């Protein structure tokens, strides 16, 4: 096992960020946990400690650069130089574009896009002088493919995609030893569908197929360990969506226009005036630790063959070559 590393995870109080922090902690890493909700942060820190890692909960709003930079400084002063920074904190509003108020759209953008920019800046200012370190941007299939009811979130994810590509080019140009990579996720069973601001009259849900957050966490930790690849796709649905969007985006526009609204809602009623966690952390307001999982455990997949395959290109290539070679030998023997 490698020496423990110092890892910062934003959005670590719940959902994918919680699962990622837990996975790093389970292998003995020192993990700084950044999020607003102190209840979730304390619970995540306890999980990491019990798993054998060291945790430092740091309550912070990622939309505040000075606060993020101060958290990075505190993490380094107590845990050591940051080796890995994972950006995954976000917020959103489930609603048609016309139903999202300008101040809400701005807030989603500040958290879900600028939060990544600020986290990256805080990490890079410390990593570049040392000429080492890895930054992982947690994205989504929605970084390429917009869907109805999520204009604010899709806009932020598209922005992260462009930002990360531009930054990667700059790092390559300068010959920097700092790496940045992006992980595009599918629909994941997280508490976001319980705590996000929603103006829908039916309860929001992820578009099936749904994966457990541990599937995402496995891929994100792997990306942090193997950051030379520019991007990782998680789940067959992500791969299929991105490939289809590259070939026939107009057809997907029409398909999602017909199916995208209903597929993101259950049959259960929802109060469109419920405040959600856009302005205040859900666990702070209600005093409840939401954990990593949402309410769709009975429908969520605990593993993904596509993730395994994407991490074993060499093995699959060798196996394919062996099959072709054996086939050629068989054909040759049959001819003889």
Enzyme catalytic residues: 153
Query: Residue 311 in contact with residue 222, Cβ under 8 Å?
Result: yes
Q: Dihedral angle at the C-alpha atoms of 28, 31, 37, 42, nearest 10 degrees?
A: 40
Phi and psi at 84, nearest 5°, equal -135, 135
Best CA proximity match to 220, nearest among 186, 258, 261 = 186
Rg of the chain over Cα atoms, rounded to whole angstroms, equals 21
- Provide the edge-to-edge strand list for the sheet that holds 187-188: 187-188, 210-211, 300-301
186: helix, coil or strand? coil
Query: Residue 92 in contact with residue 150, Cβ under 8 Å?
Result: yes
State both tokens at 269. Answer: 């009623």
The whole-angstrom separation of Cα 221 and Cα 239 is 19
First to last CA, the chain: 52
Phi and psi at 203, nearest 5°, equal -65, 135
Phi and psi at 285, nearest 5°, equal -75, -40
């Amino acid at each position: 096992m490698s020496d423990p590393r110092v890892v910062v995870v934003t959005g670590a109080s719940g959902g994918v960020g919680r699962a990622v922090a837990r996975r790093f902690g389970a292998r003995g890493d020192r993990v700084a946990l950044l999020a607003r909700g102190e209840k979730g942060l304390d619970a995540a820190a306890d999980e990491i400690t019990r798993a054998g890692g060291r945790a430092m909960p740091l309550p912070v709003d990622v939309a505040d650069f000075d606060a993020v930079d101060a958290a990075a400084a505190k993490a380094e002063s107590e845990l050591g130089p940051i080796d890995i920074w994972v950006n995954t904190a976000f917020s959103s509003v489930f609603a048609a574009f016309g139903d999202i108020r300008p101040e809400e759209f701005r807030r989603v953008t500040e958290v879900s896009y600028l939060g990544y920019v600020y986290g990256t800046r805080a990490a890079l200012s410390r990593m570049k002088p040392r000429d080492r370190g890895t930054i992982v941007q947690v994205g989504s299939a929605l970084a390429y493919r917009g869907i109805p009811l999520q204009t604010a979130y899709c806009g932020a994810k598209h922005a992260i995609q462009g930002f990360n590509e531009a930054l990667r080019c700059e790092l390559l140009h300068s010959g920097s030893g700092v790496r940045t990579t992006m992980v595009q996720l599918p629909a994941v069973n997280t508490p976001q569908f319980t705590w996000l601001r929603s103006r829908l009259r039916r309860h929001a849900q992820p578009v099936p197929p749904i994966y457990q957050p541990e599937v995402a966490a496995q891929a994100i930790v792997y990306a942090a360990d193997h950051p030379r690849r520019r991007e990782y796709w998680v789940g067959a649905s992500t791969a299929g969506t991105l490939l289809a969007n590259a070939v026939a985006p107009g057809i997907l526009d029409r398909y999602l226009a017909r199916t995208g609204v209903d597929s993101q809602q259950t049959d259960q009623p929802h109060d469109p005036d419920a405040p959600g966690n856009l302005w205040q952390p859900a666990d702070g307001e209600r005093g409840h630790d939401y954990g990593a999982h949402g309410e769709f455990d009975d429908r969520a997949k605990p593993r993904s063959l596509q993730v395994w395959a994407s991490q074993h290109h060499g093995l699959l290539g060798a196996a394919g070559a062996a099959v072709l070679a054996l086939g050629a030998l068989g054909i040759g023997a049959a001819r003889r």
